[in-house]
Structure 1
Amino acid sequence: MDRIKPDQLSFVSSGLSRPECILCTASAGMFVSHDPVGVLHIAPDGSRKLYGRNDGVSSQQFTPNGIALMPDGRLMIANSGLEGGVWQVDRNGDCRPFLMEVEGRHLYPVNFVLADDKGRLWISVSTRQVPRARAYRRDIADGYIVLWDGKGARIVEEGFGYTNECRLSNDGAWLYVNETFGRRISRLRIAADGSLGKRETFAELGAGDFPDGGTFDALGGYWVTSVVSNRIYRFESDGRPRLMFEDADAGYMAMAEEAYGKEGLTVDILYADAGRTLNHIASIAFGGEDMRTAYLGTLKMDCFPTFRSPVPGTRPAHWDWSF
Structure 2
Amino acid sequence: MKIDTIQTIGSGIIRPEGVMALDDGTLWTADARGCCAQVAPDGRTTFFGDLGGVPNGICVDTHGRCIVANIGNGQVQALRPDGRHEVLLTHADGRRMRAPNFPFVDQRGRLWVSNSTERENLESALWDPTPDGCVVCIADGVARIVADGIYFANGLTLDRNETHLYVAQTMRRNILRYSIGDDGRLGPAEVFGPDPLAEAGIPDGIAFDEGDNLWITFPRWNAVGFLTPAGELRMVLEDPAHRVLQRPANICFGGPRRKTAFIGSLDGTTIPFFPVPYPGMRLVHQKR
Q: Normalization by structure 1: what TM-score? A: 0.83
* In 1, Cα distance between equivalents of 2:16 and 2:89: 23
Once residues 276 and 66 of structure 2 are traced to their aligned partners in structure 1, the CA distance between those partners, rounded to angstroms, is: 27
1:306 equivalent to 2:273? Answer: yes
CA distance in 1, matches of 2:43, 2:2: 27
Unaligned regions of 5+ residues in structure 2, if any?
none
1:135 is paired with a residue whose SS is: helix
Matches within 5 A, 1:70-89: 70-81=61-72, 83-89=73-79
Aligned pair 1:215/2:212, yes or no? no
Return the letter of the residue paired with 1:198. P
Q: 1:297 aligns with which of 251, 258, 264?
A: 264
Contact kept, 8 Å, 1:284 with 1:295, in 2: the verdict is yes
Tell me the alpha carbon deviations over residues 123-154 of structure 1, each in whole angstroms, 9 at most, x when there is no partner.
00001122111111475111000000123111
My pick for the range that moved more, 35-44 or 94-103, is 35-44
In the alignment, which of 218, 221, 231 is matched to residue 226 of structure 1?
Answer: 218
Q: 1:144 aligns with which of 134, 137, 144?
A: 134
Q: Which residue among 288, 293, 297 is the counterpart of 2:255?
A: 288
Question: Is 2:188 the partner of 1:198?
Answer: yes
Are residues 9 and 76 of structure 1, via their aligned partners in 2, closer, same or farther at CA, if it must alter by over 3 Å?
same
Contact map agreement 1:287 1:294 (CA 8 A) in 2: yes
Q: Percent identity?
A: 33
Matched, 1:91 2:88: no
5+ residue gaps, structure 1, are 250-274
Give the letter for the 1:307 counterpart.
F
Give SS of 1:209's match.
Answer: coil
- Partner SS state of residue 30, structure 2: strand
Larger Rg: 1
Equivalent position of 1:20 in the other structure: 17
- Choose from 49, 60, 72 the match for 1:52: 49
Partner of 1:256: none
1:242 is aligned to 2:234: yes
Give me the CA root mean square deviation: 1.9
Number of residue pairs the alignment of both structures matches: 286
More deviation, 237-246/92-101 = 92-101
Mapped contact 2:64–2:285 kept (Cα < 8 A):
no
Query: TM (normalized to structure 2)?
Result: 0.93
Cα distance change, pair 137–201 in 1 and its aligned pair in 2 (3 A): farther
CA drift at 1:305: 1.1
Deviation at 1:96, TM superposition (A): 3.2
Instruction: Name the structure 2 match of 1:252.
Output: none
Where 1:114 maps in the other structure, the secondary structure is strand
- 2: CA distance between counterparts of 1:131 and 1:92? 32
Measured against aligned partners, the alpha-carbon deviations of 1:68-113 in whole angstroms (never above 9, x if no partner) come to 21112222111111x2111122233222322111122111111011
* Structure 1 counterpart of 2:58: 67
Whether the 8 Å CA contact 1:117–1:318 is kept in 2: the answer is: no
Report deviation, 1:36. 2.0
